[in-house]
């Protein structure tokens, strides 16, 4: 499987499209990977992708081709991202969630419920000696702000870069998922908090990009190694022509912001695919919140699948053409996925960071010394060393994010320590219970043994009594004999 899998999906014609424009469609299928599109000038354009899902394709086909390999990799510690892209009403949310996230009709279930089932079934079949957890976070990017869908009071989540240059959402709510049913309930709560507006194209049009983040962590009891895989699913807001949707006021502003972030996504893809070999190429990830969150997924350590959704109606040909051109461009992205494994924590602070870290730490610490108490600086210094914070010495952003980075790392290491403690407490509780039951077994045994010994003593005391009785009887007989036969009589 290539690192970036790009697929196109054509949904069936809607009843409105049939009514307004008849049954005419602009695509002519060649095979499962290619088709011909007849454009507005009646010219043929050939497209080919890793897979093309035509109108009759099933939700399960999409999961199996596009998501299943990524789910398997996430469990092995390889990050994965699945993105649905396309014009408003093209079928992105239908592909992602199904008609509804709690849909019970198996064939209609979307990618999300299938991914949840896939993750849990992979973990169920893994080694018993491995402790595993699945956590879920959900955010939406609405008007260039990242909102936590599990805690709406967190409406401007900051995006940070971690020690390994991974993207982190600072302070985002993470829900521990214990089983698939609970996972679907959580997803349903998050989805209910999404910003939805009405456009002429789709009455339930999503006006935000929705990002679902599953973190799968496995800790081996044998060698204490930890594998963490991040699986991100992104349901993008619809790309659309503003004039066609009749948007105005707030909806117009939303549409402009959506289009701006989708253009930023297009620019990132262009930069990733146009860069000359061996030459450092500037990738404009920071131009939008969307591209910043997807930085890992698009250029870095992730397997990515892009599902480009299209309406087959001739009335939407120009939007579909732009979606398919975007998809064709994305096919040329090269990513480099690798396993996120950390062995013993201290070992991981490798020499790779040692030289620049010392320089940059010193620079930042000097600045902090001017502003903070000596005690605070010492504390930060220790944290820098412990956490291996790496910052570019020439970066002006370094200082600003240093505090947040340290706090973030401290929180996550405290969380980890708390989890370890809970684990140890649980283990000790079980050991304590086992010891208590062994003690009561021993006490019972001792009591039984004592009773047994008393029982054994009984025959001895019995025989002593018998002997005493015997001697008393004998003495009594001698006394009687002497009484009956006095000595003179005998003579
Ligand atoms: N493959 C499909 N089979 C049957 N119905 C579909 C399919 N794809 C989409 N639909 C229907 O088309 C309509 C629009 O789809 P959907 O809401 O998924 O679009 P969208 O791309 O997410 O739009 P937006 O960007 O506005 O949220 C929905 O009523 C949905 O049920």
Q: Determine the atom of ligand 1 nearest the C-alpha atom of 235.
A: 22
Residue 359's nearest CA partner among 381, 392, 400, 382 is 392
ipTM, interface predicted TM-score of the complex: 0.98
CA distances (Å), origin 95, targets 38, 72, 92, 257, 331: 25, 20, 5, 24, 20
pLDDT band at 224 (very low <50, low <70, confident <90, very high): confident
Average pLDDT, the chain: 79
Q: Which residues' Cβ are closer than 6 Å to ligand 1?
A: 11-12, 14, 86, 88-94, 99, 202, 204-206, 237-238, 309
Determine what percent of the chain is predicted with pLDDT higher than 90: 34
pLDDT of residue 250: 74
pLDDT reported for residue 204: 58
Quick: pLDDT tens for 316-365.
888 899 899 989 888 877 655 556 665 433 333 333 333 344 555 566 66
**Distance from C-alpha of 328 to C-alpha of 308, rounded to nearest angstrom:** 10
Name the range with the highest mean pLDDT among 297-301, 366-370, 448-452: 448-452
Distance 217 CA to ligand 1 centre (A): 33
Question: What single DSSP character describes residue 351?
Answer: G
Question: Mind listing the pLDDT tens digit for each residue in 89-98?
Answer: 999 999 999 9
Q: Which atom of ligand 1 is nearest to the CA of 196?
A: 27
pLDDT of 125: 79
Ligand 1 atom at minimum distance from 57 CA: 1
Mean pLDDT of 114-126: 90
Report the predicted TM-score, pTM, of the whole model to 2 decimal places.
Answer: 0.69
The DSSP string of 255-301 is: HHHHHHHHHHHHHHHHHHHHPPTTS-----GGGSHHHHHTHHHHHSS
Among 9, 11, 66, 259, say which to mutate for ligand 1: greatest number of ligand atoms within 8 Å of CB.
11
Q: Which of 50, 81, 49, 88 is nearest to 67 (CA)?
A: 81
| pLDDT attached to residue 92 | 95
User: Which sign does the torsion angle of CA 367, 372, 378, 381 carry?
Assistant: negative
């Amino acid at each position: 499987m290539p690192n970036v899998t790009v697929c196109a999906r054509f949904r069936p014609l809607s009843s409105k499209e049939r009514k307004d424009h008849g049954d005419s469609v602009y695509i002519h299928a060649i095979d499962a990977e290619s088709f011909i599109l007849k454009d507005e000038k009646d010219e043929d354009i050939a497209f080919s992708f890793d897979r093309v899902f035509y109108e009759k394709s099933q939700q399960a086909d999409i999961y199996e081709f596009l998501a299943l390999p990524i789910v398997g990799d996430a469990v092995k510690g390889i990050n994965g991202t699945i993105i649905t892209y396309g014009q408003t009403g093209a079928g992105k949310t239908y592909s992602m969630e199904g008609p509804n996230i709690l849909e019970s009709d198996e064939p209609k279930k979307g990618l999300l419920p299938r991914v949840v089932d896939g993750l849990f079934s992979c973990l169920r079949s893994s080694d018993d000696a491995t402790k595993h957890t699945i956590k879920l976070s959900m955010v939406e990017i609405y008007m260039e702000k990242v909102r936590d869908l599990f805690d709406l009071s967190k409406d401007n989540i900051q995006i940070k870069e971690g020690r390994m240059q991974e993207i982190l959402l600072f302070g985002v709510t993470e829900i521990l998922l214990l089983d698939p049913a609970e996972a679907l309930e959580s997803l349903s709560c998050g989805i209910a908090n999404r910003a939805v507006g009405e456009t002429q194209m789709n009455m339930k049009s999503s006006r935000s990009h929705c990002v679902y983040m599953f973190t799968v962590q496995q800790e081996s009891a044998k060698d204490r190694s930890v594998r963490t895989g991040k699986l991100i699913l992104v349901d993008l807001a619809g790309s659309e022509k503003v004039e066609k949707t009749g948007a105005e006021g707030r909806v117009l502003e939303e549409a402009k912001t959506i289009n701006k972030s989708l253009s930023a996504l297009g620019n990132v893809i262009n930069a990733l695919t146009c860069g000359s070999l061996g030459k450092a190429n500037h990738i404009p990830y920071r131009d939008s919140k969307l591209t910043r969150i997807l930085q890992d997924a698009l250029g870095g350590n992730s397997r990515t699948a892009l599902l480009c959704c299209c309406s087959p109606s001739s009335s939407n040909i120009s939007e579909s053409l732009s979606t398919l051109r975007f998809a064709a461009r994305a096919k040329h992205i090269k990513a480099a996925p690798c396993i996120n494994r950390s062995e013993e924590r201290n070992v991981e602070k490798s020499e790779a960071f040692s030289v620049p870290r010392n320089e940059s730490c010193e620079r930042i610490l000097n600045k902090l010394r001017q502003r903070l108490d000596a005690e605070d600086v010492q504390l930060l210094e220790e944290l820098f060393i412990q956490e291996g914070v790496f910052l570019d010495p020439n970066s002006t952003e370094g200082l600003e994010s240093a505090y947040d980075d340290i706090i973030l790392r401290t929180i996550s290491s405290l969380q980890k320590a708390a989890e370890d403690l809970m684990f140890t407490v649980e283990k000790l509780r079980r050991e304590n219970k086992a010891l208590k039951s062994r003690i009561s077994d021993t006490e019972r045994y001792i009591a039984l043994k004592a009773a047994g010994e008393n029982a054994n003593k009984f025959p001895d005391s019995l025989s002593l009594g018998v002997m005493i009785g015997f001697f008393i009887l004998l003495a009594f007989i001698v006394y009687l004999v002497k009484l009956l036969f006095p000595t003179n009589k005998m003579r």
